[in-house]
Amino acid sequence: MKEIEKTAIEEISKTQTQEELERVRLKYLGKKGIITEKLSGLSKLALPEKKMVGKELNIIKKNITDAIEKHSSEIKKNVLSDISKNVIDTTLPGKPFDFGKLHPLTQVMNEVKNIFVNLGFNIATGPEIETDYYNFTALNIPKDHPSRDMQDTFYIGEQGNNGTMKQELLLRTHTSPVQVRVMENQKPPIRIIAPGKVYRHEAVDASHSFVFHQVEGLAVDEDVTFADLKAVLEIFVKKMFGENIASRFRPSFFPFTEPSAEVDMQCLICKGKGCSVCSQTGWVELLGCGMVHPKVFEFVGYDTEKYTGYAFGIGIERVAMLKLGIDNMRLFYENDMDFLSQF
Ligand code: DAH
């Protein structure tokens, strides 16, 4: 046994790396190591012998363990001094790194903003935490409207002093409340877009997310007509998707506009011939719009005889998916480098 100890200590002292040292440790003290096997063989011995040999083995085990520890810290010390002796070649080139760039949604958002800024729109902003009044009431969305349902809206309770709800707060479900805030603070003429995040209480799938982006538009003045709205949105579609892309206005309903419309654009995939993306219709839905409802003007104290206006709301994820040919909205939020680096 003394012989084994001697060899082990010798082998330990010869190792130069932690890996080599570990190999020696396993050879003697590992599960199937020489010392370990001897220790488990003890049970076969008679009692007085067992005691004696066991004691001896444990001393050897401790000596080997101590030697390993001591040698391990020596190896560490050597490595450090090697570094200080310039064993590391600092003239070698560094690891290559990627340049950052704007997220595809930010790129599309910027493009949309640019188009409208070039048409004379200013950029307005509003809070993402809104009151029931701005998000719904002042937009002529009555108390029993389905979009007020808890399923669609994230409500936030703010406690008053006596434990009651002080004010009904929520995460805005659209950028339309910015229309109201702008009109409360400004007299016509108004020409703004309001880009930003909106929130809906819904399950995430390929075309839904609980947070997404919209760009709201609002123009109010004397003699603003539906023709102005049509012109502006047609220009938007052409600038965004190409000069030869047709768009059409389809009657629709929104509580805050009358008349209301949705704009469809020619399907980019089949160029209007009909395919699976456009359900064989040749058209895909793009945005909602309309002439500002007189009720909304009344809420902000505008003279409904004097002023007219149009409004629109564009879903940025939708525009980005069509423009970049992406069929799953979740890709925008997963921050997968292989996906992001393509744009
Ligand atoms: N706020 C609507 C939504 O989120 C979109 C919308 C439709 C905005 C028509 C408008 C509009 O300004 O006129 O679904």
pLDDT tens-digit series, residues 88-114? 777 889 888 878 899 999 999 999 999
Please tell me the predicted confidence (pLDDT) of residue 235: 96
Picking from 87, 119, 138, the residue at the C-terminal end of a domain is 87
pTM equals 0.72
User: Would 225 be classed as within a structural domain?
Assistant: yes
pLDDT value of position 166: 64
- pLDDT of res. 85: 73
- Give the residue from 336, 317, 330 showing the smallest Cα distance to 205: 330
What are the tokens at 193? Answer: 């877009």
Mark which of 87, 119, 144 sits at the end of a domain. 87
Q: Is the CB of 68 under 6 A from ligand 1?
A: no
Report whether residue 288 contacts ligand 1, using a CB cutoff of 6 Å: yes
Q: What is the residue-wise DSSP string for 46-78?
A: -HHHHHHHHHHHHHHHHHHHHHHHHHHHHHHHH
Average pLDDT, rounded, for the chain: 91
My answer on whether 207 and 256 are in the same domain is yes
Alpha helices by DSSP H, listed for 129-253, are: 132-135, 177-185, 226-241
Looking at 148-293, list the stretches that DSSP marks H as alpha helix, in order from N- to C-terminal side.
177-185, 226-241
For the segment 116-144, the average pLDDT, to the nearest whole number, is 95
Tell me, using a 6 A CB cutoff, whether residue 136 lines ligand 1: no
Q: Which of 87, 122, 139 is the last residue of a domain?
A: 87
Q: Which atom of ligand 1 is nearest to 175's Cα?
A: 1
Measured distance CA(17)–CA(23) in Å, rounded? 10
Same domain, 242 and 183: yes
Q: Can you tell me the mean pLDDT for 267-295?
A: 89
**In percent, how much of the chain has pLDDT > 90?**
67
CATH code of the domain covering residue 187? 3.30.930.10
Cα–ligand 1 centroid distance for 224 (angstroms)? 18
Q: From CA 302, how far away is CA 224, in angstroms rounded?
A: 14
Domain span at 186:
104-340
Q: How far apart are CA 6 and CA 11, in angstroms?
A: 9
Ligand 1 proximity of 254 Cβ (cutoff 6 Å): yes
Q: Average of pLDDT values for 220-241?
A: 97
- Mean pLDDT of the region 316-322: 93
Residue 247 pLDDT greater than 90, yes or no: yes
**Any atom of ligand 1 within 6 Å of the Cβ of 176:** yes
Same domain, 79 and 144: no
Index of the ligand 1 atom closest to the CA of residue 173: 4
> Do residues 237 and 156 both lie within one domain?
yes
Tell me whether residue 217 is in a domain.
Answer: yes
Whether residue 315 is predicted with pLDDT greater than 90 in this model: the reply is: yes
User: Of all protein residues, whose CA lies closest to atom 13 belonging to ligand 1?
Assistant: 289
